[in-house]
Structure 1
């Protein structure tokens, strides 16, 4: 069921930007676009051109800037005027893609649209047919069934909605977890059912939000039931808790043997620059890009780290820092949770040799200082000074 090719479609410039407290200027969007090109994502959604004139102009600029063969998408609601505006904004791209969204869940149809299911099908059919009539036969049209992840109550209708979209001319079916409400496998099983219905009539795409913190897991597992495209965002930007994180998704798939086109070495510098451009700090425990993810303080972990430090697979390391473009390395620090190996390793790095008895003495001394002073970390410089006092005394 797993597809031969997995496409990474980035939505930072649309979904990520629309959720920022201060949306980016056109110059900032150009910089982000260039970062995405350097990362070599498979496709880029550049915005929502019918929302305002500035957005329209920006989408035009970015579309013209796009490399040859790079799919450039823009979002439109299922409205003919908006579809026409969207096409005008992106048609100068070498590989433009029309993206149309309309709700398909029972809740949204009853409480937001307040129309019948028959009218929903007609809206989907009319909007996609119109889009196909203006873009021609060779252009990709992606249809997103908004709130797909919440469509459990009317799932038979949802299948019909997607088949209607395909019949009208859509060749990519996007399945959004617009609001994450359920565990990953509930959504993944829904994806599998849609894949079984759609078969090879259209590409299956996934777009998940992170309300419960499981967007990456949901997206990655969806690949293994037939999803060929995953929509992601830099630094996990997006509405509320954000969209599926590009870095986590790409690394997870890579670790499971999947071949992606991503330039992995550009991950860390891109993440740092996006943090600067948004003013949103990177948490020290953030996977892949956090400051603390190559730090080791537990004695048991430190022992395993020192024994596998230069191996491709570390005892407590998923990937090497340099693989994602980081200039740092695995670090060992001494706290009252650390072991003898931490002191031995830190001193050895400074070219200081101490006997086993000396290491044991320094261990006891450092533990005592840490515990006495509110369990603080003992710095490498302090350990060196303590070792020199010990050696002098000896």
Structure 2
């Protein structure tokens, strides 16, 4: 790269519009949409779609709600021509959907285009020619007058062709290709000339498409160009202003949004932004941007996974994992602080039964586009305490106390640091069960009986097993867990105190299982947690205590348990 790029590159000119109005406007309704996936998108593929894939894509666009679809450049190939004929002859076009086809302003191509559209119920015939000085001077070597003559000759031919097929409901569309780097005055002049021939009115509708064929400036300049054109075009009320932004500077979506603010009525683009070079504007992102502002986009992407599946199969192009709204990772938080904010946001939403969506880091509810919450939080070495806690809550109903979240987070951190990979939901659950004795406790409660005397003392008689050895536990205290702590001290010599205790049910039914969380301290001030899930709350509490206590078992404790078991056997 050059250290002084100004020696090679020149900034594109801007437009003088000091009283521009678009910056103070808001988008309050959806534009008219045109999908050009089957034409512009198809032309951009290394292996263009065959008939079967085109039909599959066509059906998807109908399900998504598109009413105007550019299906082909019928004069470009026999495949495109045949596809248009198939849609018409097989009556595949719904009554509220209009076909659009593209042609250059050339006599032979226009004739071929009308042949493809024979007997179409409704059609938009879209003619274009390049207008920018770069193309006039270097590609076509024609003057402004010659460029206008080419466009008007094509317009006359198209009007004649439309009048010769009155059974079709025609709409004429003209694009001054390379509009965004055409002189604003010349763009107006050539569009006025074409409109003079076509005479747009309710009976003869016309679309003027103002494309950013190659992005050469910032989106605000494109908006100025659109507003300037809308202000000065003499038949503004009789035409639909359409935009067709590309993405050469990576600002195609911004260009489309600002163009709508500036007065455009319609947007042409592709799903996921496919198209020549850097792509067309992404209609999914545009539509869902509106949706998250409370504006109904009039397109349906409620089954996003199906959309992705069909588009990737037809285009043979992947959807980037960070693609807005649709990527595999766009609703996923790995960062600990992000996870904590999202977890708290969901908790408040559930607690307050909120209807308005207010969620940290998630501008769109994944459920609205058919995505589950399973991928919202994923755990790796960058994750904090909330990540694993969220997954345990979502998949197993556990509501971990904050201190237990911190404790388990350290376990997860050590595990992910060890292997350096993301931990799956299954792996997190298995680690949790091993760490806190949920499934295979070292000290297993077999049965227990308790009773309280008049002095409010609880007497506990329990049988347990440790490493296959039977163990009898007896103790008393001012409650069930207090009695169990004393029993552990007498039977195993474990001097413990209960630091924290929590429990909750795992469902709303009266017979739902309960989960208990117990934190214990030994004489050295060391802490251990135990967790247990059981249909009986008392059993869950006792087993959770035993699971915590087993973390402090030493060989001496094991020997004591063995001797007690032998004594019980001999008796």
Q: TM-score, normalised by structure 1?
A: 0.92
Is 1:222 aligned with 2:259?
yes
Contact 1:275 1:281 in 2 (8 A): yes
User: How big is each residue's C-alpha offset from its partner over 1:1-20, in whole Å with a ceiling of 9 and x where there is no partner?
Assistant: 77966100010110011111
Contact 1:220 1:252 in 2 (8 A): no
**Which structure: larger Rg?**
2
* Structure 2 residue aligned with 1:185: 220
Instruction: Tell me which protein shows more helix as a share of its residues.
Output: 1
* Structure 2 residue aligned with 1:361: 407
Distance verdict in 2 for CA 1:173–1:385, change over 3 Å:
same
Is 1:326 aligned with 2:353?
no
User: How big is each residue's C-alpha offset from its partner over 1:310-351, in whole Å with a ceiling of 9 and x where there is no partner?
Assistant: 553322212222322335645322233222222333333424
Residue 98 of structure 2 is aligned with which of 64, 71, 77? 71
Shift of 1:28: 1.6
Contact 1:96 1:140 in 2 (8 A): yes
Residue 371 of structure 1 is aligned with which of 417, 428, 437? 417
Residue 243 of structure 2 is aligned with which of 206, 217, 242? 206
Determine the C-alpha separation between the residues in 2 that align with 1:166 and 1:258: 33
Distance verdict in 2 for CA 1:5–1:168, change over 3 Å:
farther
Contact 1:3 1:228 in 2 (8 A): no
Contact 1:166 1:201 in 2 (8 A): no
Determine the C-alpha separation between the residues in 2 that align with 1:335 and 1:329: 15
Residue 231 of structure 1 is aligned with which of 268, 276, 283? 268
The Cα RMSD (Å) is: 2.2
Report how many aligned residue pairs link the two structures: 391
Q: Write out aligned runs for 1:1-394 (5 A).
A: 6-63=31-88, 64-136=91-163, 139-151=170-182, 154-169=183-198, 171-198=206-233, 199-309=236-346, 312-327=357-372, 329-349=374-394, 350-352=396-398, 354-374=400-420, 376-388=421-433, 389-390=435-436, 391=530, 392-394=547-549
User: How big is each residue's C-alpha offset from its partner over 1:152-205, in whole Å with a ceiling of 9 and x where there is no partner?
Assistant: xx2211111111121121621101111112111111111111111222131100
- Of 161-170 and 5-14, deviating more is 161-170
Shift of 1:261: 2.2
Instruction: Tell me which protein shows more strand as a share of its residues.
Output: 2
Contact 2:30 2:290 in 1 (8 A): no
Contact 1:8 1:229 in 2 (8 A): yes
Contact 1:296 1:302 in 2 (8 A): yes
Contact 2:41 2:274 in 1 (8 A): yes
Distance verdict in 2 for CA 1:268–1:344, change over 3 Å:
closer
- Of 250-259 and 381-390, deviating more is 381-390
* Residue ranges of structure 2 left out of the alignment (5+ in a row): 1-21, 201-205, 437-529, 531-546, 550-571
Shift of 1:257: 3.8
Determine the C-alpha separation between the residues in 2 that align with 1:351 and 1:9: 45
Distance verdict in 2 for CA 1:380–1:36, change over 3 Å:
closer
Contact 2:29 2:297 in 1 (8 A): no
Contact 2:341 2:360 in 1 (8 A): yes
Contact 1:179 1:211 in 2 (8 A): yes
Determine the C-alpha separation between the residues in 1 that align with 2:307 and 2:400: 42
Determine the C-alpha separation between the residues in 2 that align with 1:3 and 1:361: 49
SS of residue paired to 2:47: coil
Shift of 1:21: 0.9
Contact 2:216 2:249 in 1 (8 A): yes
Determine the C-alpha separation between the residues in 2 that align with 1:250 and 1:155: 29
- Of 78-87 and 338-347, deviating more is 338-347
* Residue ranges of structure 1 left out of the alignment (5+ in a row): none
SS of residue paired to 1:45: strand
Distance verdict in 2 for CA 1:328–1:359, change over 3 Å:
closer
User: How big is each residue's C-alpha offset from its partner over 1:276-330, in whole Å with a ceiling of 9 and x where there is no partner?
Assistant: 1222111111112111111112222212212233553322212222322335645
**Bigger RCO of structures 1 and 2 (CA < 8 A, at least 6 apart):** 1
Shift of 1:242: 1.1
SS of residue paired to 2:52: helix
SS of residue paired to 2:102: strand
Contact 2:253 2:281 in 1 (8 A): yes
